[in-house]
Structures are given as structure tokens and as C-alpha cells.
A = this chain, B = another copy of it.
Amino acid sequence: MDLNLRNITHRYDEVEVLRDINLDIKQGQIVCIIGPSGCGKSTLLRMIGGLERPASGEVLQLGDPPADCLNPLTYIFQDFALLPWRTVEGNISLVLENHPLDAAAREEIIADVLARTKLSDFRKAYPRQLSGGMKQRVAIARALSVRPAVLLMDEPLSALDSQTRELLMDDLVDLWEKENYTAAYVTHNLAEAVRLGHKIVVLSRRPGEIRDIVEIAMPLSDRTSENLELEAIQKRLWNLMRDEARAADMELVDER
């Protein structure tokens, strides 16, 4: 299943946040979306997942999701969005309870995703007992449990400390190697973008327009940390964005 964004424009009240975005997300591809703060990345991702309606333009779904897919467009959030009153297993079962699955099938799915994310030992733990990295792994397990056609990730690593970030990035790469998932990945972090993205979409400051789309052909498995080609791309991206990042940083938050 591919996704296709056509002429998406959006405004909140008087503020235009996105302008004429055209983009497609091909099956098996990770599309990274980068841009300065407040340029509308999260808004765009909400539109892709059907959580918000663009003022104009549309998001189309090309082809059908696989038959066993329970929730084609599935999010992984920056702040994990786990229910604190449910255990790890309860948080996963939450998203299965609305589907016509019998208890055994549900149990099987839960055991499977926990094993894939190496969380089996933490089944009965509450979110408060887990480190940030573990919480995000639970959120990933939850997302996998509904067999998504496309994963929508909004800065999934940016609430983590950088060592954990490194560990989880490796996990995401391994997972892609195994499952070839499709994803739209929003991030501020250029290193993450060049590490994970098959296609990197650079947005301008608000109102977000597409400034550039960089495709990286190198297979994910080859993208090790000492890699001059990636470094060069990262540097190019940074040069493209630095001034806008600085300007976005210097903006005063509007007085209300």
C-alpha cells in the first residue's frame, strides 16, 4: 500500500502552517521528514494518519493494505502515549480489544510482539517502572501488534537520552531489515534521518513547504557510523537548514 499526499495546505485560524505539500510514500520505504521547529511536521503526520483534516488537498491510499492488517496507519508517538494504568501487556491488548479476535489469538499476538521487541520479561510491568527506552519499545510492540501497513513516527527517539537513542535506532534498523516496513518518520535529528531514511523530505520554516527531497540509495545495513558519504549528506542538509533553524529558535512565542 502506498500513500500519496496531494497539494496539502493547512492553516490554524490565521496562521498558515503547511503550503502545497505533494509527496508519496512507497511501500517498504522509510520517508524521513525534517524541518525547523514549528514548521508543521507533526501536523502533516497527523493528516497522513487521518487524525486531522487538511484545509485543502488530500491524502490518498493507493492499493489495499494486506488482509491481516488490523490498523493500516499506525502511530508511534514521541511521548510514548502508554496508558499508565495498564501493564505492558495491557497496553498492547488495548489496541486489540476492539477487533474480533478470540482470547487465544490475542494472546498469541501479544506474546509474538513482546518476543520481537525483547520485552517478554517485562510483560507485567507498569510504565512507571520502565526507562524511557523501554517505554518506547513497548509503544513499538503495540504498533507492531496491529500489523500496520504504514508506521507513522513523530520524533520517536527525541524524548530519550542519546545512548538509548543509539540503541533504539539500531533496533529500528534491525526491524526494517527483517520486515521491510513502510514508514513516515518525523525528526529534528539529521543523523537519524540519514541513518534511517530512504527518502528525506526537507521542509522550510512555517508555512512548511518542501524545500528539497534527498533520496539515499545506500542500503540501511551499510550505513555505519564512520561513513563519509552519509556525513556529507548530513552536512549538506545542515547547511540547507541551519539558518532556518536559527531563525525558528529566535522566534518569540506569541503573547496571548
Binding site for B on A (CB under 8 A): 36-37, 122, 125, 128-131, 133-134, 158, 161-164, 166-167, 187-192, 225-226, 228, 231-232, 234-235, 238, 241-242, 245-246, 248-253, 255
- Please give the distance in Å from A163's CB to the nearest CB on chain B: 4
Which residues of chain B are within 8 angstroms of A234 by Cβ–Cβ distance? 225
Chain B residue at minimum C-beta to C-beta distance from A254: B129
Chain B residue at minimum C-beta to C-beta distance from A241: B163
**A162-B188, A188-B162, A190-B162 given; A129·B252 CB < 8 A:** yes
Q: Are B36 and A163 in contact (CB under 8 A)?
A: yes
Assembly CA distance A225 to B125 (angstroms)? 41
User: Dominant SS at the A interface?
Assistant: helix
Which residues of chain B are within 8 angstroms of A166 by Cβ–Cβ distance? 238, 242, 245
Known: A37-B164, A131-B251, A167-B242. 4 other contacts (CB 8 A): A162-B188, A162-B190, A164-B249, A225-B234
- Contact partner of A161 among B158, B232, B246, CB < 8 A? B158
- Contact partner of A162 among B163, B189, B232, B235, CB < 8 A? B189
Assembly CA distance A50 to B116 (angstroms)? 46
Which residues of chain B are within 8 angstroms of A163 by Cβ–Cβ distance? 36-37, 188-190, 241, 245, 249
